Amino acid sequence: MAIAVSYGGNPEHKRNPGNFKLTPPSQPRADKTLCDDAGIFCKMEATDLLRSGVRRGLISDQRVDQFPQNIWSVTKTGVPLEAQLENADLGIYHGYPMPTADPFRGDVLKRWKSL
């Protein structure tokens, strides 16, 4: 399944549009965490992180067709990420750094380190 998922992105989680080719390119919202703060500016890196989460089994039990609703991953610098399915027909997700107040953040880090 890792190869079947892809990253689409969401301009609300971008300050710098990088090479995501979003419309609008960026539209950061004050209440959203930003990929920029996690050092993610390249769509290929976001896709690799998404697929790493699938390969490590950090996927939700909830499904939409064949795809998990959520996938979790962690950057090389230790920032936990969450991705949400946005197109179940194509397996496209958008992701963002998990908020520091999210209690599940610690679980993601613990599980990532144990794999």
pLDDT for res 67: 96
- Judge whether residue 53 has pLDDT over 80: yes
pLDDT, residue 3, reads 79
Amino acid identity for residue 82 in this structure: E
Average pLDDT over residues 25-53: 94
The whole-number pLDDT of residue 70 equals: 98
* Confidence grade of residue 115 (pLDDT, cut at 50, 70, 90): confident
* Phi, psi of 47, rounded to the nearest 5 degrees: -65, -45
| Beta-carbon count within 10 A of 47 CB | 17
Contact 100, 34 (CB under 8 A): no
**Contact between 80 and 72 (Cβ < 8 Å):** yes
User: CA Rg, the chain, in Å?
Assistant: 13
pTM of the model: 0.94
